[in-house]
Amino acid sequence: MTEPLWQPSRERIADANLTAFIAQVNQDRGTRLSGYDALYDWSVAEPAQFWQAVWDFCGVIADAGGPVLVDGDKMPGARFFPEARVNFAENLLRRRPGEPGEDGDAMVFWGEDKVKRRLSHRAVYEQVSRLSQALAAEGVGPGDRVAGFLPNMPETVIAMLAATALGAVWSSCSPDFGVQGVLDRFGQIEPKVLFCADGYHYNGKTLDSRPRVAEFTAQMPSLAKIVVVPYTEAAPDVSAIDRAVPLADFVAPFEAGEIAFARQPFNAPLYIMFSSGTTGKPKCIVHGIGGTLLQHLKEHKLLCDVKPGDRVFYFTTCGWMMWNWLVPGLASEATLLLYDGSPFAPDGNILFDFAEAEQATLFGTSAKYIDALGKAGLDPQANHDLSALRLVTSTGSPLVPEGFDYVYEHIKKDVCLSSIAGGTDIISCFVGGNPVGPVWRGEIQRRGLGMAVEVYNDRGQPVRGEKGELVCVKPFPCMPIGFWDDPGGARYRAAYFETYPNIWHHGDFVELTEHGGIIVYGRSDATLNPGGVRIGTAEIYRQVEKLEAVEESIVIGQDWQGDVRVVLFVKLRPGAVLDDDLVAQIKGQIRSGATPRHVPAKVVQVADIPRTKSGKIVELAVRDIVHDRAIKNIEALANPEALELYRGLKELQS
């Protein structure tokens, strides 16, 4: 393709936060930077200067002072702003009662088509004030864990802010987790207080969370209190849950007032995030206050061009890191648009109904959702006013080139489409958007500012225009501060620094393109190796899912006769049949669209494809069950029963 799909207008470039940031850097630092690429090169060459400039431009509220970076040649071991003290909630609640705009929307919430609410900045501040006092009275303080088993609703944000205002550590998962899945996560970190809702809505149904809450909290002796948030009922009965109290009763003794934010060291813990857990008990990844805040401010303000008054939406649950990424939009003085439930209830249009009604400026979702829209034949731009929309972001899995086409043909022509990629490991992105640069079909726009990303070949050499391993060769503030219960940090080092000493090895199979963009071909541990040639799974998915008959697919490498053969499983649309003609069509599409090496040796029809709670397909779990290996933690899956469809298949015995 010789022309980009989209380029920003001169007016948009002139108005961008990134343009103002470059001007500020040039003025303050005596540099002559022009454009994203020059800024990127400077940001990785001068990390201390860059992160100080981000701090200043974004107006971080903190007790500053001291050096920006100590031991900057060590990874792990580098420390950013080691003498600074900061409070996460204080930065997100920067609009205070009595200030202009206090009655504007801080959050707007839709629970499918059943619940609609909005909260002003004043209301949020006052609710956080009362709840933080209630938590303090329960003995919660710095370092204590507070957990949420909650839908993506305003009270979840408020509970997180109340906990972190006290210096406590927040952790959450979505209420569709089973009992063992919750125990595998929260059981490791021993929270003092748990927040849960009485239930939630999904695809038109109302589900009661209380029986599961009663079951798993009975096995968590660390809990002093379980606070139940009303959602599906106005006054839910909590009597069956030991140590439970309704939210209204929990905060009743306290009046709203000025919040006493507990400023903590920059690298004190803020969040505990969990790996997917499909290969064993989930890793508990601990993220620091300052690094998380600074990285999210950078990504929101500079890479997503979020401005005061913008209205920011991301389709996510509280079990996916994109919830943690969305919420700091408050620190950029944006309104959060929160949605909980099925993205297709009741007729497939609800997310765009929400975006239209609330004039969303940023619409974030998953690549799988965009693919599903295309498969369903939906055309949001035909019946929605999306004139306020400036940015669409996509993550969770690689967005295929046809997904780019769909956005520009069926959502909006004049929009910056930023495919982004990073992960729970860094609670943010290594690669993502550039609001002042072009969008090329099938490519993530740029490496993230301050993230010294390279692509290494099999010999550990940086390459461009070749597929290889995504690495980061210099420290960055949002590296985890460690894993929970990992004295000495041995598991932490093994996870990221064992392959290349002193270099972060992320585990993505990628390519740095001639445009300076990035293509992600899948996870390194899921790449296929027929005949010793590495193939990214995303290359096969792109071709297969072009076919009308195929709803979704998953591909693995099966050990076979001393080599590896490619096996493709397909879930077909209703009425379609995997006959010889369709198999030939699938193989022909892969051969012509990719290479003969990509063509699967076997194509097998399945009724369902297993996925994690955040919607990611689990290639490794399928590969293990095909090879009759134990699956260590099926509780991490949204549909664990689907795995049994792959066990002992006769089609794979010959």
Q: Which of 293, 305, 316 is nearest to 89 (CA)?
A: 293
Are 249 and 226 contacting, i.e. CB atoms less than 8 angstroms apart? no
As a whole number of angstroms, the distance between CA 355 and CA 312 comes to 9
The pair of three-digit structure tokens given for residue 395, joined into one six-digit string: 């993550």
pLDDT at 126: 96
As a whole number of angstroms, the distance between CA 327 and CA 336 comes to 7
5-14, 218-227, 628-637: range with lowest mean pLDDT: 628-637
* Stretch 507-529: mean pLDDT: 90
Residue predicted with more confidence, 654 or 341: 341
- In one letter, which amino acid is 155? E
Q: Which of 116, 316, 284 is nearest to 187 (CA)?
A: 284
Give the chain's mean pLDDT.
94
pLDDT at 99: 74
Are 378 and 410 contacting, i.e. CB atoms less than 8 angstroms apart? yes
- What count of Cα atoms within 13 Å lies in the side-chain half-sphere of residue 165? 26
* Stretch 323-343: mean pLDDT: 97
Are 270 and 612 contacting, i.e. CB atoms less than 8 angstroms apart? no
pLDDT at 100: 72
- In one letter, which amino acid is 527? T
The pair of three-digit structure tokens given for residue 524, joined into one six-digit string: 């390194």
As a whole number of angstroms, the distance between CA 486 and CA 480 comes to 12
Q: Above pLDDT 90, what percent of the chain?
A: 83
Q: What is the pLDDT of residues 235-285, one digit of tens each?
A: 999 999 999 999 999 999 999 999 999 999 999 999 999 987 655 678 999
165: pLDDT strictly greater than 80: yes
404-408, 462-466, 538-542, 628-632: range with lowest mean pLDDT: 628-632
132-136, 236-240, 558-562, 578-582: range with lowest mean pLDDT: 558-562
> Which region, left, alpha or beta, applies to residue 427 given φ > 0 means left and ψ of -120 to 50 means alpha?
left
Q: Domains in the chain, start-ordered, CATH in brackets? A: 85-518 (3.40.50.12780), 529-652 (3.30.300.30)
Helix or strand or coil: residue 623? Answer: helix
Burial class (CB in 10 A: 0-12, 13-18, 19+), 651: exposed
pLDDT at 1: 59
pLDDT at 545: 83
As a whole number of angstroms, the distance between CA 222 and CA 219 comes to 9
The pair of three-digit structure tokens given for residue 398, joined into one six-digit string: 């690689």
What's the helix, strand, coil split of the chain in %, to 5? 35, 25, 40
Q: What is the pLDDT of residues 582-623, one digit of tens each?
A: 999 999 999 888 888 889 999 999 999 998 877 888 998 999
Q: Which of 243, 162, 431, 424 is nearest to 318 (CA)?
A: 424
Q: What is the pLDDT of residues 5-54, one digit of tens each?
A: 999 999 999 999 999 999 999 999 999 999 999 999 999 999 999 999 99
Q: Above pLDDT 70, what percent of the chain?
A: 99
Q: Are strands 335-340 and 105-111 parallel, antiparallel or unpaired?
A: parallel
pLDDT at 451: 98
In Å, what is the CA distance from 72 to each residue of 75, 228, 489, 548? 8, 45, 18, 52
As a whole number of angstroms, the distance between CA 109 and CA 122 comes to 16
* Stretch 173-189: mean pLDDT: 91
pLDDT at 339: 98
The pair of three-digit structure tokens given for residue 113, joined into one six-digit string: 């088509």
Q: Which of 596, 539, 537, 602 is nearest to 566 (CA)?
A: 602
pLDDT at 529: 78
How many residues appear in the chain? 654
pLDDT at 522: 86
* Stretch 296-318: mean pLDDT: 97
Q: What is the pTM of this model?
A: 0.89
pLDDT at 648: 92
pLDDT at 363: 98
* Stretch 62-66: mean pLDDT: 93
pLDDT at 280: 64
* Stretch 125-143: mean pLDDT: 98
* Stretch 548-573: mean pLDDT: 91
CA quadruple 34, 38, 43, 48: dihedral, nearest 10: -60
